[in-house]
Amino acid sequence: MKLLEIKNINKSFLNKKVLDGINLEIESGEISSIFGYSGEGKSTMLKIICGILKQDRGDVILNAKNINNLESYERRTPLVMDEPLLFPNMNVIENIEFGLKLNLNKRNSINNIGKNKKLFYSPKEIMELLGITGLEKRYPSEISMGQAQRVSLARALIVNPDIILMDEPFSNLDIISKIKVRRLIKDINRELKISILLVTHDIEDVVNLSDKMFILNNGKIQDSGHPKEVLKKPSSIDTAFLLGTENILGGVISGIDPDNNLIKIKVKVRNENTEYIEYNKKADAGVIIEADFQGNFEIGEQVFLAVRPEEIIILREDRQASKPVRENRFSGKIISSIFTSRMMEISIKSEENLELKVLIPFHAYEVMHLFEGKTVNVSLKKSSIHLIKKKKTVKDSISP
């Protein structure tokens, strides 16, 4: 069931168009994310939904009711922001009960019948769920950031909304609180059947939490769908760049064979002198890469290839290669390896001058005795290669 519909929202600030015809649909009971860089109007979008800002044009429809003309206090779309923003003049329990007291009179008029949803949860129940029992009498200055953010969440939950809007709720939390709060948000969504619209610039939040993601770029929804699908198969080169897809190669289709589930691409290797990958018609030299068949391409068409760094396989010297790892094999040298918090990030330059980024677990890096300067064999699985049309405009990429 559609819970929230955003129709053709436009918003400008001082002649600068921030939102340009945004359309969104959010299903009941889901966690949806709006992903985009800072300053792309994500927060503006949320402020329009909850009524803090008025849109220039367009409609906000909640529960099949147009709420354009409702003030924010009438909308029941509580906001959770990057800071907890607790009321400093109230203690924790007073903060949590703030919305409850305001909504006391409206309780009976809220139509929740037949929704399999408890009318209102008591502050005690909510505090228990969020693990902040015992903090009732403390003041906001006396609790930690992680606890404060959970109180902020409780304060939003108490009004029993259909949807909670979250604006970068994790950005000020340390990594441990972040993981805790993330899990809590999942629990809330599942147990209280409250939908969540999350705005974030961190792709981890999106992948971790959401059932559906929207990519906001240049004031437009550029891509949408299940995060895994969007991440693996970005529909445009812009999306791929935005999502941090690191291995993007330019090429041209050189052969199509749907019967054998095969498509061949001639890839132009990275020129030392150009920073961007650009297919050059004059240069015929290139590497042929095979991929699983993907529809809608013709021979001679210019395309981009995207491969996620964790899908590239470094072959072990001591083992017989299985079938998939024999596909698209290259030999190359490790030119750099960086230890990130969880994985090793390795750059490999092949003999054909093809540069690839590979992510492998740290223990694998050790077991395989890898080091900078070592020559290794890598394989690009056919199934891991995703083709993107080169001349795809932003408008075309919005999936219907």
Partner 1 sequence: MPLNKNRIFDILVYIISFLFFATLILLLSGIFFQTSIHLFMKELKDAGLWNSIFLSFKLSFIVILINLIIGIPIAYVLSFKKSKISFLLDIISALPLTTSPLVIGFAVLITMGSLNPIGKFFIDNGIKFVFTPQGIVLVQLIISFPFFVNIVKTSFDSINRKMLDLSKTLGASSFDVLFKIIIPLSYNGIIAGLAMSWSRSIGEYAATQMISGVIPKITETAPIEVFVKTSYGNYPAAITIAGILMIISLFFLGIFKYFNYKIKTNV
Binding site for partner 1 (CB under 8 A): 47, 50-52, 71-73, 75-79, 81, 83, 85, 87-89, 98-99, 102-103, 106, 155-156, 159, 165
- Cβ 305 to partner 1, closest distance in Å? 43
Instruction: Determine the longest span between alpha carbons in the chain, in angstroms.
Output: 75
Contacts of 69 (CB under 8 A, 6+ apart): none
Residue from 354, 357, 361 nearest 346 by CA: 357
Q: Is the Cβ–Cβ distance between 391 and 349 less than 8 Å? A: no
Smallest gap, in angstroms, from Cβ of residue 80 to partner 1? 8
Nearest to 327 by CA among 385, 389, 270, 250: 385
Residue closer to partner 1 by CB (options 20, 97) is 97
Q: Which whole-number Å values give the CA distances from 140 to 98, 99, 145, 151, 264, in the listed order?
A: 14, 17, 9, 9, 61
- Shortest spacing between CB 82 and partner 1, in angstroms: 9
Q: CB of residue 20 vs partner 1: minimum separation in angstroms?
A: 24
Nearer to partner 1, 84 or 227 (CB): 84
Q: How far is the CB of 208 from partner 1 (least distance, A)?
A: 24
Closer to partner 1 by CB, 43 or 235: give it. 43
Q: How are beta strands 195-200 and 163-167 bridged, if at all?
A: parallel
Identify the three-state secondary structure at position 331: strand
Least distance between partner 1 and beta carbon 234 (Å): 33
Quote the least distance from Cβ 63 to partner 1, whole Å. Answer: 16
101 or 183: CB nearest partner 1 = 101
CB of 78 to partner 1, least distance (A): 5
125/345 with CB nearer partner 1: 125
Closer residue to partner 1 in complex, CB, 129/165? 165
CB-wise, 102 or 285, nearer to partner 1?
Answer: 102
Distance in angstroms (rounded) separating the CA atoms of residues 358 and 365 = 11
Q: Which is nearer to partner 1, 141 or 320 (CB)?
A: 141
Q: Please check whether residue 35 is in contact with residue 214, taking contact to mean a CB–CB distance below 8 angstroms.
A: yes
Torsions phi, psi for 322 (to 5 deg): -80, 175
Q: Which is nearer to partner 1, 165 or 289 (CB)?
A: 165
DSSP SS3 for 209: helix
Q: Which of 210, 224, 216, 212 is nearest to 242 (CA)?
A: 216
What is the DSSP track for 87-144? Answer: -TTS-HHHHHHHHHHHHTTTGGGS--TTSS--S---HHHHHHHHT-TT-TT--GGGS-
Give the containing element (helix H, strand E) for 188.
helix 175-191
C-alpha dist (Å) from residue 260 to 10, 263, 264, 290, 379: 47, 9, 11, 11, 20
Least separation in angstroms between CB 38 and partner 1: 16
